[in-house]
């Protein structure tokens, strides 16, 4: 298998790690925010794991961007625009939101404020990722929402 093949499978499957961690982190943060809970070491660890998983996905994606035939398709077609511009920009924005949210939650000392930062920033990132994957299924007929390749 080529480096492209390996990275493509890794990036394709890793999305589930990012997605599951992000969903659990958001649920936990919402519960902490509205339930006025303490910010535990477990909470902090889950948020850091989510951040690290997103950064690993970014690394896979950055290399793939140069190896994939999809990013070489013309921008005049929706599929070319999606892989050249839309996927990378929306996903990087989502990863920035996760990075900023985690940093902000570290800066504040109040437990509820920590939960609130995570809930808002990670929650927004989750929405961005879902929108980008939905757009992928519209622009590229070879991809499906849950399909791993
Ligand atoms: C949290 C962030 C990200 C998620 C959840 C994500 C998710 C996905 C998914 C679901 C696919 C389709 C995989 C398949 O065909 O089975 C894909 C493909 C791809 N992603 Fe990402 N991605 C993310 C970030 C990025 C970033 C930041 C870049 C670029 C810097 C990137 C570049 C690519 C490329 C080039 C492909 C096409 C691979 C190919 O089929 O040739 N991704 N991504």
149, part of any domain: no
Question: Which residues constitute the domain of residue 10?
Answer: 3-139
Q: Which residues, including other chains, have CB under 8 Å from residue 10's CB and lie 6 or more apart?
A: 60
Q: Is 146 contained in some domain?
A: no
33 band by pLDDT with thresholds 50, 70 and 90: very high
Residue at 148 is within a domain: no
Inside any domain, residue 147: no
CATH number at residue 23: 1.20.120
Q: How many domains does the chain have?
A: 1
Here the tokens at position 80 are 């070319």
Q: How far is the CA of 21 from the centre of ligand 1 (A)?
A: 17
Task: Say what the pTM is.
Answer: 0.96
- List ligand 1's pocket residues with C-beta within 6 A: 8, 11-12, 15, 18, 54, 57-58, 61-62, 64-65, 68, 70-71, 83, 87-88, 91-92, 94-95, 129, 133, 143, 147-149
Assigned domain for 37 exists: yes
Mean pLDDT for the stretch of residues 125-143: 97
Instruction: Answer yes or no: is 145 within a domain.
Output: no
Is 49 part of any domain? yes
Q: What is the pLDDT of residues 68-118, one digit of tens each?
A: 999 999 999 999 999 999 999 999 999 999 999 999 999 999 999 999 999
Average pLDDT, the chain: 97
Only one residue has tokens 């794991």, namely 49
With bands split at pLDDT 50, 70 and 90, how would you rate the model's confidence at 1?
confident
């Amino acid at each position: 298998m080529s480096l492209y093949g390996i990275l493509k499978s890794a990036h394709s499957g890793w999305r589930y790690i990012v997605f599951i961690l992000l969903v659990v982190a958001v649920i936990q943060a919402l519960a902490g925010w509205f339930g006025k809970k303490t910010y535990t070491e477990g909470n902090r660890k889950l948020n850091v794991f989510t951040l690290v998983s997103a950064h690993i996905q970014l690394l896979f994606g950055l290399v793939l961007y140069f190896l994939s035939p999809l990013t070489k398709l013309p921008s005049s077609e929706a599929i070319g625009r999606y892989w050249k511009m839309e996927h990378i920009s929306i996903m990087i924005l989502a990863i920035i939101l996760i990075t900023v949210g985690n940093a902000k939650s570290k800066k504040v000392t109040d437990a509820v404020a920590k939960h609130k930062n995570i809930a808002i920033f990670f929650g927004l990132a989750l929405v961005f990722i879902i929108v980008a994957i939905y757009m992928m299924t519209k622009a590229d007929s070879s991809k499906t929402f849950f399909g791993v390749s």
